[in-house]
Amino acid sequence: MDSLHLKNISSLISQNVDELRDFLKSISFSRALRVGIAVTVPIILGLQFGHFEIAIPLCFGAFWSSPSDVSGSYHYKKNGVLFSAGLVTVISYLGSYLHYGYWYSLLLLGFLSFCISYISIYGFRASLVSFSGLLALVLSFAHNSDVLENYEYALLIGLGGLWYLLLTKIWHRINPKAEIEKVLSDTFLLTAKFLETRGKLVGPQADRNNLQTQLYNLKIELTQQHAVLREALIQSRKNSGRSHYKSKRLLVFVLLVEMLETAIANPVDYDKMERLFHKNPQIKERFQEVIFELANQLLEIVKAGNNFDKIPDSHHLTNLFNSVQEEIIKYNNEDESSNYEGFIMLQNLFTYQEKQFKKLKKIKWLLGNPEIDSKEFIAKKDAQKFLIPQDYDPKLLIRNFSFQSNIFKHSLRLSVTLMIGYIVGNFFDFQNPYWVLLTIIVILRPSYGLTKTRSKDRIIGTIIGSVIAIGMVFIVQNTYILGALGLVSLIIAFSMVQKNYKASATFITLSVVFIYANLEPNILTVIEFRVLDTVVGALLSLIAMLIFWPTWEFVDIKESIEKSVKSNQEFLQKISDYYKLKGSISTSYKVARKTAFLDTSNLSSAFQRMVQEPKNKQKEMDKIYELVVLDHTFLASLASLSTYIQNHKTTEASKQFDTAIEKIENQLKGVLKHLNNATNGITDVSQDDISVFEDKIPQLNSKEFKNITSMSSEEAQVLQEAHLVWEQLQWLFSISRKMQILSASLKLD
């Protein structure tokens, strides 16, 4: 018993050590460390040479320019930091006039906060630049130099931003591969977790609802991770020319994407599997071992890093596949007449796992740094088609200047809320009114769900941090130790913003209290106002989301559904074209496939945001949920059809095939019309429409199954193709029909 207890403790320690190691290697920690260095160096030098007034704006400039330093292309990161430095310079100069009068400051705060926030219409990177500007604006209340002129102070702020850019560039030059390797490793880990979760679903008495939810969330997370890695690999090649390292990593990335898409294209009816093989549980166990080993090898690849000798070999997996094949043959020989349905399921599952195994072997081969013919690399012009270019047309500012734009409403909401926060902070004579404003710009997001979650986490984190800080400040009296603790807390806080906002808020509070402990004799008052300001800012943010031009997801969900349906329609057309023309897979085909997966993932995210909103704003929830599920099912069926025609030699497409595709597309067009309220009612499906699909599907009964082994390979392939292709077409028609009926009954306006 003692040895078992010790073993559990040892396992727990080992797990925590691994998590700590991963945290220290993370991109978030690396970035936080850069921020810590960028902020600390000017202060140390300023104190050393007696120019603390110069050190402060340099420190602020570096800190305010750092939000744009996120995962992705170094080119975009560099431009983001540069634009942030320029913006905070201008805002700092204008912000220096915020102290010239109450009403003047109030109006200037409202106007500038709207303009800065409105920049976000230019996409994710622009929103980070916007956040830098808001930080500079709000923190202009925190410090007003008595030594430097306003323009000198602003220029030093800009110089601080350039200092951070220089530090980022040096960091990148020291290890240019570090970020790509880390993002790629995270993609491997998520893919392994995805496969492992599918393996758990095969097991007996699995909590399938919970596991399916995990699988669903992992797919969304993987799609987002793919977007980051895609930008990092493709955009860097675009700017730096051909790199064999990045070209090989791009091929590895493509294979990881295909592993996800192959999994989605091969859904398993787990309940049916349970029913068919309840007398043969060893078959499921063998398959589960294969899936777990596939996931484990992906994890081992991550652990191996750049040590190619530690990349796992394929012997164990090969033996597992042989074991599975033996079980399938044994199962089929027991009673052919009654086991044919189970045999087909096993064969399909085995074929799917073999495809994943081949992709895994190709990944391991590529990571072994082999010599590759340049013809195998993805052409730069083709790779760039997978990036979605951001539109920076100035006309976007005019087009979005209306209450039809969510960014316009959010910018207006933010500016009004900041003005109210400024009034409240000054009316009640808070110690640091700008803390209320800072809480608002951090918490108030365009969506209600995220604002609500951040408000709760911010309040809880601030309270926890305050309680810990009270004890630490009374125990530690040394100024230098408190300063060091403040810096360490700041670094940890920044590194945890994305992963755990509650923990981040806790360490931000610790950092603020430790720094103020060196400046304020009555630290308890500082802590008291810190908590009060946070609560006031959080409450104002939540109230603002409810009363100031609220944006509810049920209004915008139609647009997300429409976009996903259009992407699926385009993917269906590309599959149809390929089935008719054969040949090699075109880049436009792959782009259509990528877009369909991305838009379906975005639809899922939109639905998750809707779930987090107040109950009275969750209109037509059941119907929307069903539509989202049907949209996912439609894409899975498309992916399955796509996988089959890519990996099998197919016959010439018939006129009936064209007719079937046309009827499915008509159903999708009907969905789009209903979503746009362009039609009333739905068109009845004629018996002829149904027969187009049903009459073409051969019934694979027991007798045919017995005879299929005596057919020629070509005859058997034609029979299999007819059954699988037309079964998928019938299924696609059925799903699109249900989607049209649901969309016709939606009442969201």
| DSSP letters for 319-367 | HHHHHHHHHHHHHHHH-HHHHHHHHHHHHHHHHHHHHHHHHHHHHHHHH
In this structure, the answer to whether residues 484 and 583 fall within a common structural domain is no
In this structure, the answer to whether residues 442 and 571 fall within a common structural domain is no
Residue 682's pLDDT is 57
Contact (CB, 8 A) for 445 and 457: no
Gap between the Cα atoms of 32 and 495, Å rounded: 5
Residue 633 inside a domain? The answer is: yes
Residue 484 inside a domain? The answer is: yes
pTM: 0.82
Summarised one tens digit per residue, pLDDT across range 446-466 is 888 888 988 999 999 999 988
Residue 373's pLDDT is 59
Residue with the bigger pLDDT between 524 and 696: it is 524
Q: What percent of the chain has pLDDT over 90?
A: 19
Residue 285 inside a domain? The answer is: yes
CA 622 to chain centre: 25
Confidence of residue 544 (pLDDT cuts 50, 70, 90): very high
Residue with the bigger pLDDT between 95 and 241: it is 95
Summarised one tens digit per residue, pLDDT across range 33-80 is 898 999 999 989 988 888 888 998 999 999 999 988 887 777 888 889
In this structure, the answer to whether residues 168 and 184 fall within a common structural domain is no
Residue 5 inside a domain? The answer is: no
Q: Looking at residues 118-128, what average pLDDT do you find?
A: 89
**What's the total number of domains in the chain?**
4
Rounded (5°) CA angle 430-492-498: 85
Summarised one tens digit per residue, pLDDT across range 327-375 is 888 877 775 555 666 777 788 788 888 889 999 999 988 888 776 655 5
Residue 702's pLDDT is 42
Summarised one tens digit per residue, pLDDT across range 611-620 is 888 888 878 8
Summarised one tens digit per residue, pLDDT across range 400-415 is 888 888 899 999 999 9
Residue 13's pLDDT is 66
Domain final residue, candidates 520, 547, 574: 547
Confidence of residue 690 (pLDDT cuts 50, 70, 90): low
Residue 2's pLDDT is 55
In this structure, the answer to whether residues 97 and 220 fall within a common structural domain is no
R_g (Cα) of the chain, nearest Å? 29
Gap between the Cα atoms of 304 and 62, Å rounded: 36
Range of the domain at 525: 406-547
- Rounded to 5, what percent of the chain is helix, strand, coil? 80, 0, 20
Could you count the other beta carbons within 10 Å of the beta carbon of residue 315? Answer: 8
In this structure, the answer to whether residues 301 and 229 fall within a common structural domain is yes
Q: Which helix (DSSP H) or strand (DSSP E) does residue 291 occupy?
A: helix 281-304
In this structure, the answer to whether residues 302 and 341 fall within a common structural domain is yes
In this structure, the answer to whether residues 533 and 591 fall within a common structural domain is no
In this structure, the answer to whether residues 612 and 708 fall within a common structural domain is yes
In this structure, the answer to whether residues 375 and 443 fall within a common structural domain is no
Residue 393 inside a domain? The answer is: no
Please state, in angstroms and as integers, the Cα–Cα distance from residue 657 to each residue in 574, 664, 693, 728, following that order. 14, 11, 9, 12
Confidence of residue 158 (pLDDT cuts 50, 70, 90): very high
In this structure, the answer to whether residues 413 and 324 fall within a common structural domain is no
Both structure tokens of 367: 């990571």
Would you say residue 279 has pLDDT above 60? yes
Q: What is the DSSP string of 396-462?
A: HHHHT-STT-HHHHHHHHHHHHHHHHHHHHHHTT-S-THHHHHHHHHH--SSHHHHHHHHHHHHHHH
Would you say residue 535 has pLDDT above 50? yes
Residue 4 inside a domain? The answer is: no
Contact (CB, 8 A) for 183 and 71: yes
Q: What is the DSSP string of 204-232?
A: TT--HHHHHHHHHHHHHHHHHHHHHHHHH
Gap between the Cα atoms of 498 and 580, Å rounded: 46
Contact (CB, 8 A) for 403 and 549: yes
Residue 390 inside a domain? The answer is: no
Q: Looking at residues 209-219, what average pLDDT do you find?
A: 84
Contact (CB, 8 A) for 252 and 184: yes
Domain final residue, candidates 174, 199, 223: 174
Please state, in angstroms and as integers, the Cα–Cα distance from residue 339 to each residue in 309, 384, 721, following that order. 44, 49, 21
Contact (CB, 8 A) for 119 and 130: yes
Q: What percent of the chain has pLDDT over 70?
A: 85
Residue with the bigger pLDDT between 591 and 23: it is 591
Residue 703's pLDDT is 45
Residue 458 inside a domain? The answer is: yes
Contact (CB, 8 A) for 675 and 603: no
Residue 571's pLDDT is 92
Residue with the bigger pLDDT between 132 and 698: it is 132
In this structure, the answer to whether residues 456 and 429 fall within a common structural domain is yes
Residue with the bigger pLDDT between 96 and 339: it is 96
Summarised one tens digit per residue, pLDDT across range 408-437 is 999 999 999 999 999 998 888 777 788 899
In this structure, the answer to whether residues 493 and 421 fall within a common structural domain is yes
Would you say residue 162 has pLDDT above 90? yes
Domain final residue, candidates 515, 547, 579: 547
Contacts of 347 (CB under 8 A, 6+ apart): 328
Residue 204 belongs to a domain with what CATH number? 1.20.58
Both structure tokens of 520: 């304020």
Residue 48's pLDDT is 86
The helices-and-strands tally (H runs, E runs) of the chain is 29, 0
Contact (CB, 8 A) for 324 and 276: no
